[in-house]
Chains A and B, each alone.
Chain A
Amino acid sequence: MPVFIKMPSLSPTMTEGKLSKWLKKKGDHVAPGDVLAEIETDKATMEIEAVDEGVLFEIKVDEGAENVLVGATIATIMEENDSEEDMMVSESNSNSESNSNSEGKSNLEGTNNLVSIENKNKNTNIEYNEKKITSDLPLDKTTSEDRIRISPLAKRLALKNNISYRDIKGSGPYGRIIKKDIENFDNLKETFDKNLNNNINSEKNNFNDVPHSPMRKVIAQRLVNSVNEAPHFFLSVDCNISEINKIRNQINSGNLKISVNDFIVKASAKALENVPKANCSWNENFIRYYNNFDISVAVAIDDGLITPIVRNVESKGLGEISIEIKDLADKAKKGNLIPEEYQGGNFTVSNLGMYGIKNFTAIINPPQSMILAIGKAEKKPVIINDEIQISEIMNVTLSCDHRVVDGALGSLWLNKFKSYIENPSLMLI
């Protein structure tokens, strides 16, 4: 039988996605594990792999197509034994399927088929990746591993009405989610929406209500979590970056362009290496001390931000770091980061200097224990050896999780950082 490749669901709330790229073309021979296409979701680009061997018979969704419904057929793979007739028969089935979708009858057929495909291919990369994504969300961690008790009807109603049933408390036996629970939830939503609409009408449309994107939800969850759980305190210091600029002038006359931020990332890792007690995270029963120096760099992207990671910074040169950050930032902006590239990290650097911000305090990116907020470097008169000189001064503010990093420890780290920034040659050692 021909195999229909469907738009996968990568999260419980995903209803549609973008087909960003085809890596195989019509007529290509495909083997299990071959990457067929890339699907773009809120944060990342996921790969769809072939599970069966065969020939890519037809591509139904063009590269770059957005809003592709979850469960829609995006391609067909013909197996060796398939005849043209098989194809015709299956195609007509699949057509009637998509017809019923377009007529707005129901998109259930599609979702059902997806479910069965997922079940059939238990070990596919799609499933694997799905797990990885959800496991990164601290709030989802427990639920994603537990079985959700929900009646078939309730599940279908939830999917149909785009309700994430994971957070619904079931009223059936053993907490099973039943039809009534979904209906109650839906009514609640409706009332809420209605109230919202009423407000809109009474206030003459002074605002627009935009539903949360999946990324917005994750940001909100993680940061609320951080503020609620980690007692933040802030340490601020001025750093003279004149020496860094001197070195940059030398390096940047060549092909390689190194930014101040690249130095900051390197200096952060060096400071952590010098103050290993600060390279840690709070856990319920223990403090975890890290032996690696992976620095997350906050990157603003459309409608949000993401923190790709430069791994093992201690063993990388400035050039290497610079190229990697550019590459990661580029991927982040295009939405091409894979989960490994943004999950983890020991410490985060957030730089708003380019926006002219003098100084600010940042919220720690859990489970990390520190984040460094970088302000704009400005030329200022400074007194060096009792003489007034003009130097470029950059204010940085360190946010610390007081559960693991005390004031003295944070200060020690920040002074180390400052000394690396002001004496960049020390970074070479």
Chain B
Amino acid sequence: MRKFDLVVLGGGPGGYVAAIRAKQLGLNVLLLESNELGGVCLNWGCIPTKALLKVSEFKNNINKFKDFGIEVNGEISFNIKNVIQRSRNVSKQLSNGVKHLLKKNNVEVIKGFGSIYDIKEEVILNVLQDEGSNIKIGSKYLIIATGAKPRLIPGVDTTNDNIWTAKDAMVPKSIPKSITIIGSGAIGIEFASFYNDMGSNVTVVEMENSILPNEDKEVSETAKNIFSKRGINFLNNSSLISVDTSKNNIISKIKSNNKVINLDSEKLLLAIGITGNIQNLGLEKSNIKIENGHIITDDKMRTNIKNIYAIGDVTQPPWLAHKASHEAIIASEVIAGLKNVHILDKSSIPSCTYSYPQIASIGLNEKQAKDNGLKIKVGTFPFLGNGKSITMGVSDGFIKTIFNDETGELIGAHMIGSEVTELINSFSIAKQLETTEKDIVNTVFAHPTLSEALHESVLAAYNRAIHF
């Protein structure tokens, strides 16, 4: 039986980062992946959807050609087959990239499904390889980085061609005439934005009374307004009761504000969240602590079982690739015995939605801050007051910043508008460096840039905005 210092289960943005970091620290590492390297993020999540949404952005830009004085003779059309192919190629390219990174770092990778076989002095793993053979591997430490899969609704059969999960929505054979999307989180909204731009009639069903319910209320409301104007229908305080698949179209029975309505659409997309990949891992042999389908860890990513760690989507929220990668670094450094390992501050993890317009946020929103009893200062600056936005013809949206009134600590930042998923990182750095409002006020922002709006929103929090 081959023995390793560390075996990483899963090669997504958590697992492959953990393996490379552990190797950098001199550990003898094995990475087990039963599917493509890069995980859901790279193959069926973040990356391919961004490639699709770039097409959506082109579409919106083309709509503005006339405003910018561009004339096109003839028709511009989209070849959905090629659009999807490009998205797949991007994923493939990056998955290959991960393969090379692992090779470059001399991380051994075995393609196969690993599960816990026995736990003694060390962890014994069974690896089921593609050809059906089983091998046993021993390891001092184990990192579970198996990720997650879409959460399903009992009674709603996703094997039906017209009932999709995110993965199906990434590779449509054609653009559906109509689509009902259950869930208005980042995934639901991104697909709503994409399919709406591609010409589908989109209806989004959300249980909460606002869309993007994790975002700041003002951002959610603005997003809903903008999306509604662009033709997306929203049903808030609504949930899916049952699905009728007997007709050509899907008939979704929706309970909406105490009424029951039937929604008729070509496709139904379930985007109500994810659940951890904890099945068939042999976890029952270890009494590992699990809550709501996700493994519980401490802030050093240790589970309740000695020498077994867990990172990324299989653990507690937020379920984001960048959070998984950070946890990967923590787990590997703790296993390697490093001192002063940087512990992840969950209030400093940015979250992004790549719809059109984009939405990005970090830290607490206004309601959360108030619920926490914080005395806050809030500043909002609309992109309408930002020169660069006007030149780009994208003046929708705003940036909102929240500071602790007593200490000047940056509590949260919330934005909606063009390229805000790039702007949010300024606030990530600011939060990590523990800047106060003074430091941001004193920072020189280049002109003309969208980032100036960020500066102005901080000024606005202290009643000092210049440009609005």
Binding site for B on A (CB under 8 A): 105-106, 108, 112, 151-154, 156-157, 160, 171, 178-179
- Pair A152/B406 contact, Cβ less than 8 Å: no
Residue of A105, A108, A171, A178 touching B408 (CB-CB under 8 A): A108
A-B contacts, 6 of them at CB < 8 A, read A151-B433, A151-B435, A153-B409, A153-B435, A154-B434, A156-B436
- Pair B438/A112 contact, Cβ less than 8 Å: yes
Q: Mark B397-427, 1 if CB is under 8 A from A, else 0.
A: 0000000011111000000000000000000
Cβ of B340 < 8 Å from any Cβ of A?
A: yes
How distant is the Cα of A160 from the Cα of B340 in the complex, in angstroms? 27
How distant is the Cα of A37 from the Cα of B236 in the complex, in angstroms? 67
**Residues of chain A within 8 A of B406, CB atoms compared:** 106, 160
Closest to A179 in B: B434
Cβ of B439 < 8 Å from any Cβ of A?
A: yes
Top-7 shortest CB links A-B: A151-B434, A153-B434, A152-B436, A152-B439, A153-B409, A152-B435, A153-B436
- Pair A156/B340 contact, Cβ less than 8 Å: no
**Residues of chain A within 8 A of B438, CB atoms compared:** 112, 152
Closest to B409 in A: A153
How distant is the Cα of A179 from the Cα of B436 in the complex, in angstroms? 11
Q: Which of B350-403 contact A (CB under 8 A)?
A: none
Q: Which of B261-285 contact A (CB under 8 A)?
A: none
Q: Distance in Å from the Cβ of B178 to the closest Cβ of chain A?
A: 50
Question: In terms of DSSP, what is the predominant structure of the interface of chain A?
Answer: helix
**Residues of chain B within 8 A of A106, CB atoms compared:** 405-406
Q: Distance in Å from the Cβ of B408 to the closest Cβ of chain A?
A: 6
- Pair B434/A171 contact, Cβ less than 8 Å: no
Give the interface centre of A106, A152, A178 by most chain B CB atoms within 10 Å: A152
- Pair B407/A153 contact, Cβ less than 8 Å: yes
Q: Distance in Å from the Cβ of B333 to the closest Cβ of chain A?
A: 14
Residue of A152, A171, A179 touching B340 (CB-CB under 8 A): A171
**Residues of chain B within 8 A of A105, CB atoms compared:** 405
Q: Which of B428-448 contact A (CB under 8 A)?
A: 433-436, 438-439
Give the interface centre of B340, B409, B433, B434 by most chain A CB atoms within 10 Å: B434
Closest to A173 in B: B342
Binding site for A on B (CB under 8 A): 340, 405-409, 433-436, 438-439
**Residues of chain A within 8 A of B405, CB atoms compared:** 105-106
Residue of A108, A112, A160, A178 touching B434 (CB-CB under 8 A): A178
How distant is the Cα of A152 from the Cα of B434 in the complex, in angstroms? 6
- Pair B407/A157 contact, Cβ less than 8 Å: yes
Q: Distance in Å from the Cβ of A155 to the closest Cβ of chain B?
A: 9
Q: Distance in Å from the Cβ of B221 to the closest Cβ of chain A?
A: 30
Closest to B345 in A: A180
Closest to A178 in B: B434
Q: Distance in Å from the Cβ of A85 to the closest Cβ of chain B?
A: 21
**Residues of chain A within 8 A of B434, CB atoms compared:** 151-154, 178-179
**Residues of chain A within 8 A of B435, CB atoms compared:** 151-153
State whether A153 and B408 are in contact (beta carbons under 8 Å apart), knowing that A112-B438, A179-B434 are contacts in the complex.
Answer: yes
**Residues of chain B within 8 A of A179, CB atoms compared:** 409, 434
Q: Distance in Å from the Cβ of A77 to the closest Cβ of chain B?
A: 25
How distant is the Cα of A171 from the Cα of B436 in the complex, in angstroms? 19
**Residues of chain B within 8 A of A151, CB atoms compared:** 433-435
Closest to A155 in B: B436
**Residues of chain B within 8 A of A171, CB atoms compared:** 340
How distant is the Cα of A152 from the Cα of B437 in the complex, in angstroms? 9
- Pair A156/B408 contact, Cβ less than 8 Å: yes
Give the interface centre of B405, B406, B407, B433 by most chain A CB atoms within 10 Å: B407
**Residues of chain A within 8 A of B436, CB atoms compared:** 152-153, 156
**Residues of chain A within 8 A of B439, CB atoms compared:** 152
Q: Distance in Å from the Cβ of B113 to the closest Cβ of chain A?
A: 39
How distant is the Cα of A156 from the Cα of B438 in the complex, in angstroms? 11
How distant is the Cα of A151 from the Cα of B405 in the complex, in angstroms? 18
Contacts A105-B405, A152-B436, A160-B407 aside, 12 further interface pairs with beta carbons under 8 A come to A151-B434, A152-B408, A152-B433, A152-B434, A152-B435, A153-B407, A153-B434, A153-B435, A156-B407, A157-B407, A171-B340, A178-B434
How distant is the Cα of A108 from the Cα of B406 in the complex, in angstroms? 8
Q: Distance in Å from the Cβ of B237 to the closest Cβ of chain A?
A: 39
**Residues of chain A within 8 A of B433, CB atoms compared:** 151-152
How distant is the Cα of A157 from the Cα of B436 in the complex, in angstroms? 10
**Residues of chain B within 8 A of A108, CB atoms compared:** 408
Q: Distance in Å from the Cβ of A175 to the closest Cβ of chain B?
A: 10
**Residues of chain B within 8 A of A157, CB atoms compared:** 407
**Residues of chain A within 8 A of B409, CB atoms compared:** 153, 179
**Residues of chain B within 8 A of A153, CB atoms compared:** 407-409, 434-436
Q: Distance in Å from the Cβ of B410 to the closest Cβ of chain A?
A: 8
Q: Distance in Å from the Cβ of B340 to the closest Cβ of chain A?
A: 7
How distant is the Cα of A216 from the Cα of B136 in the complex, in angstroms? 69
**Residues of chain B within 8 A of A152, CB atoms compared:** 408, 433-436, 438-439
Give the interface centre of A105, A157, A160, A178 by most chain B CB atoms within 10 Å: A157
Closest to A153 in B: B434
Q: Distance in Å from the Cβ of A165 to the closest Cβ of chain B?
A: 13
How distant is the Cα of A152 from the Cα of B429 in the complex, in angstroms? 13
How distant is the Cα of A161 from the Cα of B340 in the complex, in angstroms? 26
Closest to A112 in B: B438
**Residues of chain A within 8 A of B408, CB atoms compared:** 108, 152-153, 156
Q: Distance in Å from the Cβ of A178 to the closest Cβ of chain B?
A: 6
How distant is the Cα of A160 from the Cα of B435 in the complex, in angstroms? 15
How distant is the Cα of A151 from the Cα of B434 in the complex, in angstroms? 6
Q: Distance in Å from the Cβ of A187 to the closest Cβ of chain B?
A: 16
How distant is the Cα of A411 from the Cα of B438 in the complex, in angstroms? 63
**Residues of chain B within 8 A of A112, CB atoms compared:** 438
**Residues of chain B within 8 A of A156, CB atoms compared:** 407-408, 436
How distant is the Cα of A88 from the Cα of B268 in the complex, in angstroms? 67
How distant is the Cα of A160 from the Cα of B439 in the complex, in angstroms? 17
Give the interface centre of B405, B406, B409, B436 by most chain A CB atoms within 10 Å: B436
Q: Distance in Å from the Cβ of B280 to the closest Cβ of chain A?
A: 40
How distant is the Cα of A157 from the Cα of B408 in the complex, in angstroms? 9
Closest to A160 in B: B407
How distant is the Cα of A394 from the Cα of B406 in the complex, in angstroms? 61
Q: Distance in Å from the Cβ of B431 to the closest Cβ of chain A?
A: 9
**Residues of chain A within 8 A of B407, CB atoms compared:** 153, 156-157, 160
**Residues of chain B within 8 A of A178, CB atoms compared:** 434
Q: Distance in Å from the Cβ of B122 to the closest Cβ of chain A?
A: 33
Closest to A161 in B: B407
Give the interface centre of A105, A156, A178 by most chain B CB atoms within 10 Å: A156
**Residues of chain A within 8 A of B340, CB atoms compared:** 171
Give the interface centre of B405, B433, B435, B439 by most chain A CB atoms within 10 Å: B433
How distant is the Cα of A171 from the Cα of B438 in the complex, in angstroms? 23
Q: Distance in Å from the Cβ of A284 to the closest Cβ of chain B?
A: 31
Closest to A175 in B: B340
How distant is the Cα of A171 from the Cα of B433 in the complex, in angstroms? 13
Closest to B404 in A: A153
Q: Distance in Å from the Cβ of B253 to the closest Cβ of chain A?
A: 50
Q: Distance in Å from the Cβ of A349 to the closest Cβ of chain B?
A: 50
Q: Distance in Å from the Cβ of B329 to the closest Cβ of chain A?
A: 14
